[in-house]
Chain A
Amino acid sequence: ETGVTQSPTHLIKTRGQQVTLRCSSQSGHNTVSWYQQALGQGPQFIFQYYREEENGRGNFPPRFSGLQFPNYSSELNVNALELDDSALYLCASSWGLTGYNEQFFGPGTRLTVL
Chain B
Amino acid sequence: DQQVKQNSPSLSVQEGRISILNCDYTNSMFDYFLWYKKYPAEGPTFLISISSIKDKNEDGRFTVFLNKSAKHLSLHIVPSQPGDSAVYFCAAPEGGSQGNLIFGKGTKLSVKP
Contact = CB atoms under 8 A, between A and B. Distances in A.
Q: Do A and B truly interact?
A: yes
Q: Is the interface of B mostly helix, strand, loop or mixed?
A: strand
A41 B105 contact: yes
Contact of A43 (B6, B89, B92, B93): B89
B44 A43 contact: yes
Contacts of B104: 42
Given A105-B43, A108-B43, A42 B103 contact: yes
B101 A103 contact: yes
A109 B23 CA distance: 27
Interface residues of B, number: 27
Interface in A46-102: 48, 50, 55-56, 58, 90, 92, 94, 96-102
Which of the listed residues B45, B95, B99, B106 has the most CB atoms from chain A within 10 Å of its own CB? B99
Given A100-B32, A100-B93, A105 B103 contact: no
Contacts of B93: 98-100
Given A42-B6, A105-B43, A107-B42, 19 more contacts: A40-B105, A42-B4, A42-B105, A43-B44, A48-B99, A58-B100, A90-B44, A94-B99, A96-B99, A98-B93, A98-B97, A99-B92, A99-B94, A99-B95, A99-B101, A100-B32, A103-B46, A103-B101, A106-B43
Interface of B: 4, 6, 9, 32, 36, 41-46, 89, 91-95, 97-106
Interface of A: 4, 31, 33, 35, 40-45, 48, 50, 55-56, 58, 90, 92, 94, 96-108
